[in-house]
Amino acid sequence: MSSALLRNLTIVSVFLLLLGGGPATTSYAGNETRTLKIADGRGDWGYPNPFLHYPRGVGYIRMSWVFDTLVWKDESGFIPALAQEWSYDPEHLAFTFKLNPKARWHDGEPLTAADVVFTVAYFQKHPYHWVMLDHVKEAKAIDRHTVTIFLTRPYAPFISNIGGIMPILPRHIWQEVSDPRNFNEPSAFIGSGPYVFKNFDQARGSYLYEAFADYYQGRPTAERLIYLRAGQPLVALTGGQADLANIRPEMAAQLRQRGFEIISDQRGWNKKLMINHRRAPFNERKFRQALAHAIDRREIIDRAHRGFGAPASYGLLSVDHPMYNPDTPDYPTDQAKARQLLEHLGYRADAQGYYHRDGRPLKVELLASTITAAGETAADRDGEVIRRQLNAVGIRVELVNLEQATTDSRVRNWQFDLALSGHGGIGGDPLILVEMISGEVGAGSVNSARFDDNPELARLLREQMTAMDPDERRRLVHRIQELHALEVPAIPLYYPDSLAAYQPAKGVRWFFTPGGIGKGVPIPQNKVSLLP
């Protein structure tokens, strides 16, 4: 890290300490909308550029204030960002974008088509884990403000998962960077977004951004944007130290009475039970189905989450998704059915539970840990409920509580039986099905089932990515959901109720983006909220 950046971090530590003791408006008398603060339970989500942010949705949001994409989303769908307009040429498999000529980098340099061409080539050489460029051949500058991106084959998620996610990099800075994961100079954070990154205090988990005066869509309405790590975000919100925070659903009524605006999300995040289908007995489809029948998802929601949530679809996509299949098979809670499936596989039971054919007790290990949902971390109580439910049908469960990083590592390396996990993105493009099911595409994800045992399912996952006709793609996605439910390579458990509260007196209207921000991030921090 450079000495200049270290000096800046020291300055912002003092700055945030001075700000953190009182209401968010008192430090800037006379302009109550000048500073906005967002409370966050974890704080450290990495530095806000494509190669240094933490690989979850919260890290992407931190970066999105600084780096713009070609297109973006608001409450109605895709909207122009760096690209004023775009079109698709099916004959040449090409997307053409007309860039906004007013766009500038934070150092004052103009943003041109050459920057987009460079970004595509750079990410092809140095992959960015949020953007899949396997279908992209190359990008070419047609003129100073027009760029065409050519595909090797049709790619249905292009606008949502490349145009709407890929952060554009300044060529004049990054062309000399050969090791982007160790590039942490101040120039590594020069973007074209509405806010200029000023400082990140890693120890405090605090971020400081300042409005970019020459932003091509107009100067942002808040002069400063600050993220504060708060052990209790709700306390920070009600005490005036923060203007926006995620809240527990049971607090909504009380906060509404106190004048806070309450917003709720679609079902865009799901908790699920990961299954090691490479290991016996979990490699048997009927055994996985027995687990599904043994687990009472409504009881998990009621006991561990006070009833705030909805059972998930076994097809993964929720009822809020435009391609949700209402005819996806289900597994009603049925202990007798679970036992029937186990006995069909040759297990025999006594009063203590089931036994393998060789007389060994049927015993499984369940990993649980703290979880992060929509940016907030909480203890996982679901494991206790699931252990009781599986014990009730004769499957002995050893519940092991670990740190999230340890659980992730064991899942990634197939060193587990069952593990509780969760992820967002299920409200976005159906590409999420490929990433969360396929062993080829989802190989690097701890949330992916990495399941390729069903040839039809594997084929359809590939085909839906090239289906440019929406109706044809919907048909394929419906069938994928049915096959996922049949195979249950992982068990979708529930969609938690996701709410946030903010102080309307600041004049900002926050919202949850339908389908999620970028790649389906279910967090109500869309930069559109702070644009004029």
What is the three-class DSSP state of 174?
helix
What HEC string does 489-508 produce?
CEEEEEEECCEEEECHHHCC
Is 90 exceeded by the pLDDT of residue 157?
A: yes
Q: How far apart are CA 131 and CA 152, in angstroms?
A: 16
Q: How far apart are CA 190 and CA 49, in angstroms?
A: 9
- Every domain of the chain with CATH number 3.10.105.10 lies at 270-496
Average pLDDT over residues 1-7: 37
- State in Å, rounded, how far the first CA of the chain is from the last one: 35
Q: What is the pLDDT of residue 513?
A: 95
What is the three-class DSSP state of 23?
coil
Confidence of residue 6 (pLDDT cuts 50, 70, 90): very low
Q: How far apart are CA 132 and CA 351, in angstroms?
A: 52
Which residue in the block uniquely carries the two structure tokens 């050489």?
125
Q: What is the pLDDT of residue 29?
A: 33
Confidence of residue 442 (pLDDT cuts 50, 70, 90): low
Q: Is the peptide bond before 281 cis (omega within 30 degrees of 0)?
A: yes
Q: What is the DSSP letter of 251?
A: G
What is the three-class DSSP state of 424?
coil
Q: Dihedrals φ, ψ of 372, to 5°?
A: -115, 120
Q: What is the pLDDT of residue 373?
A: 53
Q: Which residues contact 184 (CB under 8 A, 6 or more apart)?
A: 1, 2, 5, 47, 52
What HEC string does 342-407 produce?
HHHCCCEEECCEEECCCCCECEEEEEEECEEECCEEECCCHHHHHHHHHHHCCCEEEEEEECHHHH
- Every domain of the chain with CATH number 3.90.76.10 lies at 71-173
Please name the amino acid found at residue 349: A
Q: Which of 10-14, 195-199, 362-366 has the lowest mean pLDDT?
A: 10-14
Q: Dihedrals φ, ψ of 227, to 5°?
A: -105, 130
Q: What is the pLDDT of residue 506?
A: 87
Is 50 exceeded by the pLDDT of residue 142?
A: yes
Contact 79, 67 (CB under 8 A): no
Q: What is the DSSP letter of 29?
A: T
Q: How far apart are CA 363 and CA 361, in angstroms?
A: 6
Confidence of residue 153 (pLDDT cuts 50, 70, 90): very high
Q: Dihedrals φ, ψ of 500, to 5°?
A: -140, 160
Q: What is the pLDDT of residue 56?
A: 81
Q: What is the pLDDT of residue 379?
A: 60
What architecture (CATH level 2) is domain 270-496? Roll (3.10)
| Partners of 228 in beta bridges | 39
Q: What is the pLDDT of residue 42?
A: 85
Is 70 exceeded by the pLDDT of residue 4?
A: no
Residue length, the chain?
532
Handedness of CA 431, 136, 127, 524 (dihedral sign): negative
What is the three-class DSSP state of 84?
strand
Q: What is the pLDDT of residue 376?
A: 52
Q: What is the pLDDT of residue 155?
A: 97
CA 342 to chain centre: 36
Domain 3-66+193-264+498-530 top-level CATH class: alpha beta
- Every domain of the chain with CATH number 3.40.190.10 lies at 3-66+193-264+498-530
Average pLDDT over residues 460-480: 97
Average pLDDT over residues 204-211: 95
Long-range contacts, stretch 442-446, CB < 8 angstroms, 24+ apart: 444/129, 444/412, 446/408, 446/411, 446/412, 446/421
Quick one: tokens of 276? 């090691």
Please name the amino acid found at residue 531: L
Percentage of the chain beyond pLDDT 90 is 81
Contact 227, 38 (CB under 8 A): yes
Q: Which residues contact 3 (CB under 8 A, 6 or more apart)?
A: none
pLDDT digit string (tens) for 72-100? 999 999 999 999 999 999 999 999 999 99
Handedness of CA 24, 27, 31, 34 (dihedral sign): negative
Average pLDDT of the chain, as a whole number: 91
Q: Dihedrals φ, ψ of 286, to 5°?
A: -65, -30
Task: List the alpha helices (DSSP H) in 229-381.
Answer: 233-238, 252-257, 285-294, 297-305, 335-344
Q: How far apart are CA 16 and CA 227, in angstroms?
A: 10
CA atoms lying within 13 Å on the CB side of residue 133:
21
Average pLDDT over residues 122-150: 96
Is 90 exceeded by the pLDDT of residue 394?
A: yes
Helix or strand run (H / E) with residue 5: helix 3-19
Handedness of CA 468, 472, 478, 481 (dihedral sign): negative
CATH classification code of 71-173: 3.90.76.10
* pTM of the model as a whole: 0.84
Is 60 exceeded by the pLDDT of residue 519?
A: yes
Average pLDDT over residues 408-422: 95
Q: Are strands 136-143 and 146-151 parallel, antiparallel or unpaired?
A: antiparallel
Confidence of residue 1 (pLDDT cuts 50, 70, 90): very low
Long-range contacts, stretch 505-508, CB < 8 angstroms, 24+ apart: 505/32, 505/259, 506/24, 506/25, 506/32, 506/33, 506/36, 506/222, 506/243, 507/32, 507/33, 507/221, 508/33, 508/36, 508/221, 508/222, 508/243
Q: Which of 3-7, 112-116, 393-397 has the lowest mean pLDDT?
A: 3-7
